[in-house]
A and B are shown apart, each in its own frame.
Chain A
Amino acid sequence: MWSLHKLRTAENETTTMFGYYLKLGLKSLRRNPVLTALMVFGIGLGIAASMTSFTVFYLMGGDPIPWKSDRLHAVQVDNWDANEAFDDKGRLPDQMTYIDAKALMTAAKADRQAAMFKVALPIQPASEMDGRDVKPYLEIGRATYADFFAMFEPPFQYGGPWNAEQDANSARVTVITQETNEKLFGGADSVGRTVRFNNVEYTVVGVLAHWQPRVKFYDVTNGPLTDAEAAYLPFTTAIDLRLDSTGNNDCWKNADPGWEGFLASECIWTQFWVQLDSREKLAAYKSFLDAYVTEQKKQGRFPRPVATLLPDVNQWLALQEVVSRDVEIQVGLAFAFLAVCLVNTVGLLLAKFMRKSGEIGLRRALGASRRQLFLQHLVEAAVVGISGGLVGLALTAAGLIGVRALYAEYQHIAELDWTMVAVALLLAVLSAMLAGLFPTWRACQVQPAAQLKTQ
């Protein structure tokens, strides 16, 4: 009973003292409005610069599918020229040939697998469609396998993915996005209805809810920051209809003439992803892949030494350098800028606290302990930090609007989320308190006698 009472008093004392320091801090800040404004503005600017660039960096390089990024692997095999590596950095090809994609799909050694490529889809709305007149328009689509949906987990609004049988039969089926469904069917449940792409009728089996991966990690070759596709159709159907890939097509060797020659060529234009649910399966798939390449070598393909790679999503993004160099330089510069702002704040806080030497001396003489004075001034620094953080947040929001205006492709990665707001405020307060430590320590060194004497 007795100790509890004491504890409570101590607690009350701390809270009241904290409130008192807060009041003192605010009062002191109001006393030199210009100096205070300078400090708040300085921290705000530093926070804004670092948070703006860091948000872009964080969203661009961040894990786009955190719940399973370690189980999804891009498949890379080195089918390139004996005389020359695929790129200057000696990396393996970033895409795959049709023959290898087809062979790996048939082998089906992974838990899930999907080959895919980018296609251009002229969409032809029916003229009598709900009485609305929509002109034909061009969209980007993706030809892939049913496993794509199970692997990358886009949310469905209506229906679901097509099935393996439809993959095998080159069925004329499609999964469309919410946006396409809005345009073609006014947002109604369109499962079972038909759509017309490039003079071919497809049956809608599913409609996705809004889905926009921040970074289109499954096809970084054709623009990691471009919008998600408008419609998906089976890979086998696209090949059957001889739909060309509109993505990047890289060849090191001349293809034989015609469509068949193109399919049989060493040109790379498909992406290949697998889902492997355990380390053992990853190791097993790796040895399967090595064996596949060795086997192909015997048949005269793969002139380079056997090299295969199964990077997971995050390794893949790093390997393909999805975060642009400019963004990295900007982050470096922005944090150097924050450092300048902090040094600036240290100087200004020092000036401010030193100017109060007389007051500090007086308070010491009246019995305030060094610890109390230290706390008081640290609170004052934190007040500056919070104010700076709020100013910084406002400026960060403005900065991100600027970034979106400057980079048309950054629409999905230049957005402030709650994590970033919290990080910004925390960074501001920590920075200001860090900046306040030295001036506070100096302020506490004031000798009461010396100060009082000079008054």
Chain B
Amino acid sequence: MLELRPILSALMRSKVSLVLIGLQIALTLAIVCNSLFIISERAALMNRPSGINETDTFTVGSIGFGADFDLRASIAEDLAMLRGLPGIADVAAINATPLSDGGWSQGISLDKDQKSPTAPTALYLTDEHGLNALGARIVAGRNFRPDEISGRTRQSLAWPPGLIMSRALADKLWPGQDPIGKSFYINVEQAPSTVIGIVDRLQAPWVHKQRVVELSTVVPQVVSDGSFVRYLLRAAPGQRDAMMKRVEARLAELNPGRIVRDAKSIEKLRADVYAEDRAMMIILGVVIASLLIITALGIVGMASFWVTQRTKQIGTRRALGATRGAILRHFLAENFVITSFGLVAGTLLAYGFNAWLIQNYETARMPWYYVPAGCVTLWLLGQIAVLGPARRASRVTPAMATRSV
């Protein structure tokens, strides 16, 4: 570059400013890159599909009063009423749903004698309507038949002979093989079960448990002791919110000896289960924006100060033949050099910060392009910030140099 030497020698004379702006740029780069990386990780987490129809579905719970509450009869009565309700596409009793963050998990073993399970799995206990109500897609094998559905109580130890599982779980248990007809154990002390169907994707209820999130098994049983039941309903498109209110009212009407509660759309469950991630993204976004504003304002402030301080020198240079463009370029180039110093330090800081996060918070390694992209952004930010003061400098006339300030 044409005027690098005078710029450098001028900078060396005011090392303090160099250090201050450089430090600010360095910290900004480190924070912005790592924050953006965390934001993108959270966005990726939230973008994973659950495998079910989330727009039309909702759940509602019912708790009967008293130890002698007849849950089986109540479920049968409720389902008969709900299935006849216009605007309801399908309904099933189910113990948990994806995105609900609460449910039942077990270990799956392939061999009776193995010491620890091959894979964990979430268990969805539901009837033959369950998968259709969820809107999950069966890609191999078949759905349950009505005669396969039984009740599950504290007395039940054995698991039904035919179960459906998510493709991810089948791939984990039998990589590269056709899982239909393969047998496995949920309880090694009981008879094994076999795979009768595969759903394309069905997330476990716990979206933040990486180990189990894609692994789920559907069991043709309905929990029938205790007094609690959860229904999953799929409304006709566009009718969900209206149906939520209707279903709640109709259930309460049908049997007043219980509490009907917690009608929630699956979309609401999704918002709740990812609330912390969303909050983190928003907070980091605010931090990034504030940081860029502060840094830009800082550059404007410092550059203005330099322009004022060097009015005489600028005037002298103008008198000696420097064009206005040359003055402008001088300040732009000076900012570029300072920013570059800061970015070198910032690159080290950014990777250091990432290493600290990896060590303490088990985050992933930041992809390589974050730091270069951050550098380009800060170079641009610096140039834009310094443009105002630099243009003011370029308007200094030679005559002003001879005037006292």
Chain A residues in the interface with B (C-beta under 8 A): 35, 38, 41-42, 45-46, 49, 81, 83-84, 120, 122, 124, 136-138, 198-199, 241-242, 244, 254, 257-259, 261-262, 324-326, 328-330, 333-334, 336-337, 339-341, 343-344, 346-348, 350-352, 354-355, 358, 403, 406-408, 438, 442, 454-455
Contact = CB atoms under 8 A, between A and B. Distances in A.
A406 B278 contact: yes
Contacts of B298: 38, 42, 343-344, 347-348
Interface in B336-378: 357, 361
Contacts of A41: 297
B290 interface: yes
Contacts of B38: 329
B86 interface: no
Contact of B115 (A38, A83, A138): A83
Given A199-B65, A254-B187, A340-B28, A407 B157 contact: no
A257 B287 contact: no
The 10 A-B residue pairs with the shortest CB-CB distance, nearest first, are A351-B305, A199-B66, A406-B279, A344-B298, A257-B155, A347-B20, A83-B115, A343-B24, A340-B27, A348-B301
Contact of A257 (B157, B308, B309): B157
B322 to A, nearest CB: 22
B2 interface: no
Interface of B: 16-17, 20-21, 23-24, 27-28, 30-31, 34-35, 38, 63, 65-67, 115-116, 154-157, 187, 189, 226-228, 258-259, 261, 272, 275-276, 278-280, 282-284, 287, 290-291, 294-295, 297-298, 301-302, 304-305, 308-309, 357, 361, 404-405
Contacts of A403: 279, 283
Contacts of B404: 454-455
B282 to A, nearest CB: 6
Given A257-B157, A407-B279, 20 more contacts: A41-B297, A46-B294, A138-B261, A199-B66, A241-B67, A333-B284, A333-B287, A336-B30, A340-B294, A343-B24, A344-B24, A344-B301, A347-B20, A348-B298, A350-B16, A351-B301, A351-B304, A354-B309, A358-B405, A454-B404
A84 B31 CA distance: 39
B259 A199 contact: no
Nearest to A243: B67
Contacts of B227: 198
B32 to A, nearest CB: 10
A49 B24 contact: no
Contacts of B27: 336, 339-340, 343
A350 B14 CA distance: 12
A28 to B, nearest CB: 15
Nearest to B27: A340
A198 B16 contact: no
B24 A340 contact: yes
B297 A42 contact: yes
Contact of B291 (A199, A328, A337, A355): A337
B305 A330 contact: no
Contacts of B35: 333
A257 B301 contact: no
B17 A347 contact: yes
A403 to B, nearest CB: 8
Contacts of A137: 259, 261
A242 B67 contact: yes
A283 to B, nearest CB: 33
Contacts of B189: 254
17 contacts: A35-B301, A42-B294, A136-B259, A138-B261, A242-B67, A257-B156, A258-B154, A324-B276, A329-B357, A330-B283, A333-B287, A336-B31, A340-B295, A347-B24, A355-B308, A403-B279, A454-B404
A337 B290 contact: yes
A251 to B, nearest CB: 9
Contacts of B23: 343
A261 B228 CA distance: 20
A198 B291 contact: no
Nearest to B279: A406
A122 B259 contact: yes
B154 A406 contact: no
Nearest to A120: B63
B116 A83 contact: yes
Contacts of B66: 198-199
B302 A122 contact: no
A94 to B, nearest CB: 16
Given A344-B298, A347-B17, A124 B65 contact: yes
A154 B287 CA distance: 39
B275 A49 contact: no
Given A136-B65, A329-B361, A348 B302 contact: yes
B385 to A, nearest CB: 12
B21 A347 contact: yes
Contacts of A35: 301
Contact of A334 (B259, B278, B287, B304): B287
Nearest to A326: B280
Nearest to A135: B259
A268 to B, nearest CB: 14
Contact of B275 (A259, A337, A350, A407): A407
Contacts of B272: 408
A136 B259 CA distance: 7
B401 to A, nearest CB: 13
A304 to B, nearest CB: 14
A163 B226 CA distance: 30
Nearest to B306: A351
A138 B157 contact: no
A347 B226 contact: no
Contact of B20 (A324, A350, A406): A350
A261 B154 contact: yes
A224 to B, nearest CB: 14
B154 A259 contact: yes
Contacts of B31: 333, 336-337, 340
Contact of A347 (B67, B259, B279, B302): B302
Nearest to A346: B20
A341 B280 CA distance: 21
A83 B117 CA distance: 10
Contact of B294 (A84, A241, A341, A355): A341
Q: Tell me which of A41, A138, A244 has the highest count of chain B C-beta atoms within 10 A of its own C-beta.
A: A138
Contacts of B305: 350-352, 354-355
Nearest to A260: B154
B267 to A, nearest CB: 16
Contacts of B308: 355
B284 A49 contact: no
A392 to B, nearest CB: 12
Contacts of A138: 63, 259, 261
Contacts of A343: 20, 23-24, 27, 298
Contacts of B65: 122, 124, 136, 198-199
